[in-house]
Structures are given as C-alpha cells and as structure tokens.
Amino acid sequence: MNLSIFNEQWKVVGVGVILLILALVLPLSIIAYIVTVILGVLAFIKPKESMFLLLFYFPLRSFLVEINPSLKLVGDLIIVAAFLRVLWNSRTNPKSIVQFEKFEWAFIAFLVVGAISAFITGVSLGAIVFQLRAFAITFLILYVVKRLGITKQDIKMFLWSTFIVAMILVVQGLVEKLSMRSAWMPEFWINRSLSPNNKVRIYGLINNPNVLAVFLTIAAMLTVYLKMLLPKNKVQWLLNLALVLMSGVWVLTYSRGTWIAFAIGLAIYVLFTRNWKFMVKTGVVIGLSIIFVMIPATNVANWISDNTQIGNFPRTGPAEEVGFEVEKNRITETFNKSTLEKSMTTGRLYIVSKGFEIFKDYPIIGTGFATFGDSASKSYSSPIYKDYEIGYDIYADNQYIQIITQTGVVGVLLFAVFLLGMLIMFWKYRKTSPYAIPMVAGLIAVFWCGLIYNIWEDKTFTMYFYFLTGAFLLVVTKKERVTE
C-alpha cells in the first residue's frame, strides 16, 4: 500500500472529523454554521475526498444533531458542493451533464410527479421541498461518484472508513446494552421512555435499531470484501473478531425485518454463485456472535439490572410513539392475535388500509409528496389527514403504500422502472463482473425492506447504495478504469 497516498487521502476526512468534534465540544450554533460552511467549501475544492466524510457523518448524524442541532445540514452541503464541482468540471462537455441511465430518468420523473401532485393537493412549498430533499439528496451521490472516478486506493479508504464507523457503533452499542441505556448517550435519549419490548434493543448512535441493523449488515459485507483485499496476516484475525462483534450487536437490535432481508439476500447470492462456503462461514459468524456476544451481553445486562442501580431510575423524557411494535417477545410473537389486532388499528396494516382508501380517490397521480406517511408529512402534517380521519402524524414504515398513495399509478410505474431498471442493469453484467450478483442479491433484499421501512428515505442506506451503484457503473462500463 502506498502510505503517502493513503495519508494524503485521509487529510480531508481528518480535518472534517476534527471540525465535527469541535462542534460537539462547543455545541454553539455559530460554531456549527462555520463548520458547515468550511466543509462545504472543502467539498467544492476536494469533492472526492470530502465524499468520504459522509461515511462518518450520516451513520452518526442523529447523535451529532442531538448534541448540536445546527449540524443537520452538513451532509447536504457536502453533497451539493461536490455536485456543483462536478457540474463545473463538465462545463466543457454540456451533454455529459444530462447523461443518465434509464432508471435514473425514471427516478427523476417520479420526483416531478410527486411534487406536481402535492402542489395540486395544496401542500406547502416548504413541505414539498422537504420531501424532495429526503428522496433526492443522496441520489446526487450517484451522479457525483459516476463522474469523479475511483481508484483502488479510494476503494480501500471507503472500506476502512466504514469499518471504523461500524466499530464505533458496536462499542457504543454494547455499552448502551450493559448500562441499560444510561451511558455514552445524549441525556435526552437516556431519559426517553421505551416500551418493555424496545428496552432490550440496541438503538446505537444511529438512534434507531432497524437503521443500525441495516448499517451493520452493509458494514459486515464490506468488511468481508476488505478481508479479500488484504494479505493473510494478523489483520485478518482482527477483522474476523470485528465481524463477530458486529454480528452480535446486529442480533441485539432484534430487527426482524432486517434479519429476513439478510436471509433473502444471502439465499439469492448463494443460489446464483453456488458459494456454499460463504453461507457456512456466515452461519459460523452468527453462531459465534450469539454464543460470545449476544448471550453474555444479555445475561450480564440482566445481572447488572437486578443487582445494581445502574440504569434503574425513572425515565422522565417523552414516551416513544405507541404503534405496532409493542410485544414482549419480538421473535416468538410476531404473528400472534394481539400483534395483528394492533397492526389493524394503529400499525402497518392500518396504514396500508388507509393508503388504499386514499388511492381509490386519487388513482392517477396520487395526493403528492408530504401527504401520507413520509418524512415531510411527519414534520408538517398533511392537508388530507382530517378528511380521512387520520388522527396522528403517521410514518408509513412501508415505502410501497406511501408511493401508491402519494403518486398513484403513474408514480408506481416510474418507481417500478427505477427499481427494476437497476435490477436488470446488475443482472446484465452477471457474467462479466464479480460484483453483479452481490448487487442483485442486495437489491432484492432491499425490495423486501421496502415493505417494512421507508428504506429509500433513509440517508445511511441510500448513501451506501448510491456509492456502490456509482462505483459499479464505473467498473462495468469502463468509463473510468479502476486504477492503482
């Protein structure tokens, strides 16, 4: 490895991390604004290097914003600044600015339909922009990555950055578990009242067990790839240990939807590659994580809770929202009568039912963004909720019913072209690229995630997906050869 290049590439990320730490140590708005502007300028000057800072920012964003709320636009500004630099670099070749894959055009058209429909419904401009940003900001990463090019050193930096962040989240997650959510967390999170079911789950600095589970899934897969790039030495054992720890915390999120998605992706991958050894190794890692991480951490946490005062204090903060996931045992009671009844009255089945009720009245282009179960309707509420007797600001936790309701038949077709277009593209290169089948398996797993999460609004997931898709397109189309 060329250490001089490696160190040079880390300078921008190092500066960015130091500035973010400064904004946490001095949690003043003015400091956060200055940091945001500096990082934006840096991203315009050094777009590729600054993009790596996103790997640190988005997985830790909830924590950063909880400490200093004025840091919430850092990621957006880095992406926009890098995007503007790419446009500037393309000024001598204007045609390249609007060169998109078919699935990209479909996604852009989907955004236009959702915005127009929302405007017709009477949604405020602020809410429309809010939701456009939720969908589109990380989509710009795909645009940028495809046009900046990558080197083998970039790939290693990408993998090592992911590994570092994953280990930060793993260590904090285990401390969270053993301290009964009383240490290494913002005070507001510590005081939050959780249901008996969710108390046992690790939320992490991501502040969401499902998002944490998705991130750890991605991080573990990338760590496996990192192992393949490194020589057979003691570092391999370090990474093996890290994989067991990641898997242990992944299990302790009790994110059933992510477990199912991972099983689907793994099955698809093994089916097409016949790589049975990988399935066996995966099973061994998960088994070891249960034996050496999950069971000990759970037993020690229970002992600490029963025999000490750590974490045993009244939680004075706001209670979590009452909804679908309130059963005592997430694994054994998933489909029991009580769970289904709650789902029909306040949970996912209720939301699906309401979504189709609205769709019947607005079948062509729907009611528009910021009207049903998305990020914007959660923040701004919705102009149609009163008409349909929806008494609270719901979050769909189902990307498909949200799209059906908000964009109608037209939006559904466009989004289908977006999803299936990517799948067809990956499949097209299955015989010429070793990365094609992993991308196919991952995308099919994400199709499942769309049934249980608003997955395409999650910045951590979409950041990684668009990074990887952009890199894949560079490699397979030979537009920019991956060099040393």
**Mean pLDDT on 72-100:** 94
Separation CA 127–CA 207 (nearest Å): 24
Residue 201 predicted with pLDDT over 90: yes
Find out whether 155 and 467 touch, Cβ atoms under 8 Å: no
Closest C-alpha among 138, 132, 145, 166 to residue 59: 166
Its pTM stands at 0.92
Separation CA 227–CA 438 (nearest Å): 16
Residue 337 predicted with pLDDT over 70: no
Better pLDDT: 5 or 30:
30
Find out whether 252 and 294 touch, Cβ atoms under 8 Å: yes
Closest C-alpha among 352, 400, 397 to residue 375: 397
pLDDT for position 331: 44
**Mean pLDDT on 75-101:** 94
**Mean pLDDT on 81-110:** 94
The string of pLDDT tens digits covering residues 340-376 is 444 444 567 889 999 999 999 999 999 999 999 898 9
One-letter amino acid identity for 433? S
Residue 9 predicted with pLDDT over 80: no
Q: Which residues contact 200 (CB under 8 A, 6 or more apart)?
A: 252, 254, 298
Q: Which residues contact 396 (CB under 8 A, 6 or more apart)?
A: 351, 355, 372, 373, 374, 402, 454
Separation CA 452–CA 251 (nearest Å): 18
pLDDT for position 456: 96
What residues pair up with 483 in beta bridges, in sequence order?
Answer: 151
Residue 205 predicted with pLDDT over 50: yes
Residue 231 tokens read as 């020589």
One-letter amino acid identity for 436? A
Query: How confident is the prediction for the chain on average, in pLDDT?
Result: 90
Find out whether 145 and 85 touch, Cβ atoms under 8 Å: no
Helices (H), 274-390: 276-289, 295-307, 337-345, 348-361, 375-380
Separation CA 269–CA 279 (nearest Å): 9
Confidence class for position 407, pLDDT limits 50, 70, 90: very high
Separation CA 384–CA 406 (nearest Å): 11
The string of pLDDT tens digits covering residues 243-281 is 999 999 999 999 999 999 999 999 999 999 999 999 999
Confidence class for position 195, pLDDT limits 50, 70, 90: confident
Confidence class for position 335, pLDDT limits 50, 70, 90: very low
The string of pLDDT tens digits covering residues 11-23 is 899 999 999 999 9
**How many angstroms separate the Cα of 294 from the Cα of each of 30, 174, 178, 212, 334?**
42, 10, 11, 16, 20
Residue 321 predicted with pLDDT over 90: no
How many helices, marked H, and strands, marked E, lie in the chain? 24, 0
Residue 334 predicted with pLDDT over 80: no
Helices (H), 315-435: 337-345, 348-361, 375-380, 399-428
The string of pLDDT tens digits covering residues 441-456 is 999 999 999 999 999 9
What is the CB-side half-sphere exposure of residue 421 using CA atoms within 13 A? 15
Residue 330 predicted with pLDDT over 70: no
pLDDT for position 478: 67
DSSP H or E run through 94: helix 94-97
Phi, psi of 483 (to 5 degrees): -115, 175
Residue 483 predicted with pLDDT over 60: no
Q: Percentage of the chain with pLDDT > 90?
A: 76
The string of pLDDT tens digits covering residues 24-62 is 999 999 999 999 999 999 999 999 999 999 999 999 999
What residues pair up with 193 in beta bridges, in sequence order?
Answer: 319
Instruction: Centre a 10 Å sphere on the Cβ of residue 298 and count the other Cβ atoms it contains.
Output: 16
Residue 339 predicted with pLDDT over 90: no
pLDDT for position 372: 94
Question: CA gyration radius for the chain?
Answer: 22
Closest C-alpha among 32, 25, 39, 36 to residue 82: 39
Separation CA 274–CA 169 (nearest Å): 33
Confidence class for position 440, pLDDT limits 50, 70, 90: very high
Separation CA 176–CA 195 (nearest Å): 16
One-letter amino acid identity for 173? G
**Mean pLDDT on 64-84:** 97
